[in-house]
Each structure stands twice: as C-alpha cells, then as structure tokens.
Amino acid sequence: MNVDDAVICRLKKQGMTFEVLCDCDKTMDFKHGKASFDEAIVTADEIFKDIKKGEKAPEKDLNQIFGTENKREVAEKILKNGEVQLTADYKNKLREAKKKEIISLISRNAVDPKSNLPHPPQRIENAMQEAKVNIIETKNAEEQVKDIVSQINSIIPIAYEIKTVEITIPADVSGKCYPVLKQYTTVSRETWNNDGSLTVVVEVPAGLQNELYDKLNNIAQGRIESKIIEK
C-alpha cells in the first residue's frame, strides 16, 4: 500500500501516545480476525508518538508500556487495541451495513397497524430515503431504531413494539418447538411443569408473533397455549 493512502492507528496508554501507519480496511479486518498483521500494517519498523510531527516513541517507553522493544510486537498490539483513523470510504461502508441492519430490525419488529403485517424491507428503505434519515455508523443499530421509526412514521404507518408472551408447550413436542422459540424470540424465563410441559416467557417482535404461533402450532397440532403478559 502507498504510504500516502495510509491512516494512523493510535493507542493511548498510561498518559502516552503510540502511533503506526496502517491500511484502514485491512486493519479493521485484522481486528476481527479476517486479515493478517502484515496485510494491515504499512510500516512496522518505527513506532511514533506523533506521526504528523515525525516524533518517534523512545524505546524506553516501549519497554515500560509494552514490556518489549520489539517494534513489530508493539505495532501488533497497537493495531489490536488502538483506534483507527477511518477513511471516508470505510465510513460509507459502515453506514451502508448499519442501514441494512436497521432496516432488517424494523422489518422484523414493526407492523403496519392497518393490516398488522410487517412492512417489506424495500418499503422501509424508501421511507428512510424520503425522510432523509441520518445513519450514525458508529452507533448501535438498536439504539437508532426508535428514533428512525418516529421519523418515517409520517411516511408509512408503522407500529414498532416487542411483545412479552407466555407460551406453554406440550411435553411430547417441547424438544421440536424449542429451536423455533430460539429462532423467533428471546427467551427470558422457562419452567418445566409437573406434567412435563414447558412454559416459557419470551419477547417476540410484533411482526413475527403470528408466524411464531403458526410454526409452533404446526408442530404441536394446535395444542400451544399462549397469552400476552405485557405489551
């Protein structure tokens, strides 16, 4: 990689700053185990305390903070634990991935209150574009959903909620039904009853509730008991 295209990875530790030059995309992949150190690092023969000023980190500081003067070992620790200066292209990639995650969450958890059916992902994406929704690439998708739902609610009718449901499953089909529960819900409590049946309290997206019941009753031949205990 051309040094001119490299970015800084910075690690601050015990009041000191350590910097190396790296490839933005490959370093993020390296942090997630998808690229090697050699693919990510641009230069491992020098550790800086300020790259822009050309100030190198003294070897005594490396020894004090990292327990070694081996610059390759230090550079690897900086890449693993440091903060990477993200490029505009990488931020756009993150933003696009975050948008898809948010659309998926809304599609799974929200319904059209008129039909009680989920909105297709494309309809949600179109509404987000029309509302000029701002996606924050560094913020958790779940934390952004409610605000985005309120922004697009004037464009498409949308009800976003998680329902808490108590479900009792007969003993003879509990083993087959449990994977369905794990797929569609978050199980918060489970109780094995004296007759061998299983009672669970689950959180299920409103948009998946009917599909969940259909799946369970198909296995249990309509013998599933359920009640909403909290909205």
Tell me: the pLDDT tens digits for 67-110?
999 999 999 999 999 999 999 999 999 999 999 999 998 887 88
CATH fold label, 3-84: 3.30.1250
Question: Any idea where the domains of the chain sit in the sequence?
Answer: 3-84, 88-160, 162-230
Find, among 126, 116, 121, the residue nearest to 103 by Cα.
121
pTM: 0.65
> Over 80: is that where the pLDDT of 197 sits?
yes
Whole-number Å distance between alpha carbons of 38 and 34: 12
Q: Which of 1.10.10.900, 1.10.260.40, 3.40.50.1860, 3.40.50.720 is the CATH number of 88-160? A: 1.10.10.900
Torsion from C-alpha of 98, 103, 104, 107, nearest 10 degrees: 160
Tell me: the pLDDT tens digits for 22-73?
999 999 999 999 999 999 999 889 999 999 999 999 999 999 999 999 999 9
Same fold, 88-160 and 162-230: no
| Residue 121 amino acid letter | P
pLDDT at residue 76 in the model: 97
Whether domain 162-230 has CATH 3.40.50.880? no
pLDDT at residue 149 in the model: 92
